[in-house]
Amino acid sequence: MDDGIEQRDSLRISGIRGYGYTGVLPEEQSLGQWFEVDLCIDLDLSRCGSSDDLSLGLDYATVVSQVKTLLETARCCTIERLNTLICEAVLALAPVRGVESTLTKVAAPIPGFDGRVAVRMRRSRPA
């Protein structure tokens, strides 16, 4: 687009949940726990937006399915590794330019702590 308008499009998908087996503790690896992912995906939405043609955008059902599968099947020690796998999978999809992924351990097994632990990563294609 060369009409003087700066373009920064993104697609946000939040609340992707899956029961998985990522964690350092043996119980996390055997019993599992809930994880949640929020994504902000950078991509050019101008063609899809002007034509109303879904094929020119990103099939977000595919994104949700891929992330959910990773949450449920990947066996990692750290949420940092699991989130790296998620970023790599999303970034491999055309026409994705970049992704910010927040992976949350919904009930971290920390004594006396009822909060959530999350890791946020931002990855993009080289310019």
Which residues carry out catalysis? 105
Is the CB of residue 43 less than 8 Å from the CB of residue 10? Answer: yes
Is the CB of residue 35 less than 8 Å from the CB of residue 18? Answer: yes
The C-alpha atoms of residue 98 and residue 124 are separated, in whole angstroms, by 4
Is the CB of residue 67 less than 8 Å from the CB of residue 16? Answer: yes
The C-alpha atoms of residue 118 and residue 82 are separated, in whole angstroms, by 12
Among candidates 100, 103, 79, 77, which has minimal Cα distance to 90? Answer: 100
